[in-house]
């Protein structure tokens, strides 16, 4: 049993004591929202951006967080300190809380707050970052914004999980999801990019989650002097691309070398993709909110 401490409704408790009710609507209905955040070498990367998205997701669910955003920022840093972490994956969660067996959120008295902080390696195996991933288009379409906006990072991930199950059944490393019109949306837990004639291209975010790493990759690419475009892309565009990669907090930047049995480019991680992976790694090591204020380190 690990000795991680988890923040649960106002206090840090040992991981094995961090339990919530089976009547919590997060458990019963997936009613709640969350974030996935990383810290590198003692600094939390893009913390404000993640918390902005977390609080926007809560607002979209009409869920009133028990903590102000500034308080949550302190709690996220505290969750790293309590667990003596420098490199971490941090998962804040707000669920609707304990209610009855009906859906009505008005029956839930108190929002449940959880913050998990622990070590967590990159999402895919280390060899895949060297050799590149094989992915396949799955038949499950990304849920459209007119049904449930992919921009609510909700606790209901069944749409993505069905896509992941298909990818597993197909024996590939990841699933590529299309939107309901047949344009590329995103992978099951990452945003998707192609590189075409030196241009870095990603689909607009309305039919996918507006990823924080997606934005970082776009910023990094621009700083590297590469043209970056957000435009709809088709499966044909993917097959014809010179390079492809995915971005996400858990995955970071992951190269793709095969889609639907077609080699992308020459079947190796692309040069621009590798350039962006290096540049992104540098950014994660030089930016961020310090977990341990300097005085504490020097004391």
Dihedral of alpha carbons 190, 163, 29, 116, sign? negative
243 is a site residue for ligand PLP (CB under 6 A): no
**Tokens describing residue 226:** 């590469």
Q: Which of 32, 92, 99, 211 contacts ligand PLP by CB under 6 A?
A: 211
Of 43, 213, 273, 284, the one binding ligand PLP by CB under 6 A: 213
Give the range of 90-98, 110-118, 205-213, 221-229 binding ligand PLP by CB under 6 A: 205-213
- Which residue has tokens 């902005």? 52
Record the tokens describing residue 293, joined without a space: 């204020």
Encoded one letter per residue, x for contact with ligand PLP by CB under 6 A and - for no contact, window 11-50 reads -------------------------x--------------
In angstroms, give the least distance from the CB of 279 to ligand PLP.
16
Instruction: Give 137's strand partners.
Output: 176
Q: Which residue in the list 153, 164, 181, 274 is annotated as catalytic?
A: 153
In angstroms, the Cα distances linking 137 to 121, 142, 184, 210, 253 are 26, 11, 9, 20, 19
Interaction between residue 160 and ligand PLP (CB under 6 A):
yes
Smallest gap, in angstroms, from Cβ of residue 272 to ligand PLP? 19
Q: CA-CA distance, 264 to 194, in Å (whole number)?
A: 10
Contact status: 283 vs ligand PLP (CB under 6 A): no
Q: How far is the CB of 167 from ligand PLP (least distance, A)?
A: 13
Strands (E) located in 77-154? 88-95, 112-118, 133-137
Sequence-distant (≥ 6) Cβ neighbours of residue 182 within 8 angstroms:
234, 235
- Residue 2 near residue 84 (C-beta atoms within 8 A): no
Q: How far apart are CA 269 and CA 32, in angstroms?
A: 37
Enter the tokens of residue 215.
């934005």
- Nearest distance, CB of residue 139 and ligand PLP, angstroms: 17
Q: Is 247 in the site for ligand PLP (CB under 6 A)?
A: yes
Q: In the bound complex, what is the minimum distance in angstroms from residue 214's beta carbon to ligand PLP? A: 6
Residue 71 near residue 51, CB atoms below 8 Å = no
Q: Which is nearer to ligand PLP, 158 or 240 (CB)?
A: 158
Is 191 a binder of ligand PLP (CB under 6 A)? yes
153 part of the active site = yes
| Residue 212 within binding range of ligand PLP, rule CB under 6 A | yes
The reply on whether position 140 binds ligand PLP by CB under 6 A is: no
With the CA atoms of 158, 124, 50 and 147 taken in that order, what torsion angle do they form, in degrees rounded to the nearest 10? -20
Total of residues contacting ligand PLP (CB under 6 A): 14
Just list the catalytic residues: 153
Sites of contact with ligand PLP (CB under 6 A): 36, 160, 186, 189-191, 209, 211-214, 247-249
């Amino acid at each position: 049993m690990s000795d991680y401490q988890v923040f649960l409704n106002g206090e840090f408790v040992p991981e094995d004591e961090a339990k919530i009710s089976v009547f919590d609507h997060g458990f019963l209905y997936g009613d709640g929202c969350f974030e996935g955040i990383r810290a590198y070498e003692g600094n939390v990367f893009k913390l404000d951006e993640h918390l902005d998205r977390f609080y926007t997701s809560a607002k979209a669910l009409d869920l009133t967080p028990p903590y102000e955003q500034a308080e949550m920022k302190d709690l996220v840093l505290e969750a790293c300190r309590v667990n003596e972490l420098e490199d971490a994956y941090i998962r804040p969660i707000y669920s609707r809380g304990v209610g009855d067996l009906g859906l009505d959120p008005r029956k839930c008295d108190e929002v449940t707050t959880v913050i998990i902080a622990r070590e967590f390696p990159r999402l895919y195996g280390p060899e895949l970052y060297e050799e590149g991933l094989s992915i396949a288009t799955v038949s499950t379409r990304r849920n459209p914004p007119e049904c449930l906006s992919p921009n609510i990072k909700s606790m209901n991930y069944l749409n993505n999980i069905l896509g992941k199950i298909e990818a597993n059944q197909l024996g590939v490393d990841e699933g590529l999801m299309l939107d309901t019109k047949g344009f590329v949306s995103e992978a099951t837990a990452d945003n998707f990019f192609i590189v075409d004639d030196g241009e870095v291209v990603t689909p607009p975010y309305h039919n996918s989650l507006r990823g924080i790493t997606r934005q970082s990759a776009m910023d990094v690419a621009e700083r590297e002097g590469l043209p970056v475009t957000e435009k709809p892309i088709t499966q044909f565009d993917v097959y014809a691309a010179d390079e492809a990669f995915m971005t996400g907090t858990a995955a970071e930047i992951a190269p793709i070398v095969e889609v639907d049995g077609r080699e992308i480019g020459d079947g190796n991680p692309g040069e621009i993709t590798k350039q962006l992976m290096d540049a992104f790694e540098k950014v994660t090591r030089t930016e961020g909110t310090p977990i341990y204020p300097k005085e504490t380190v020097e004391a």
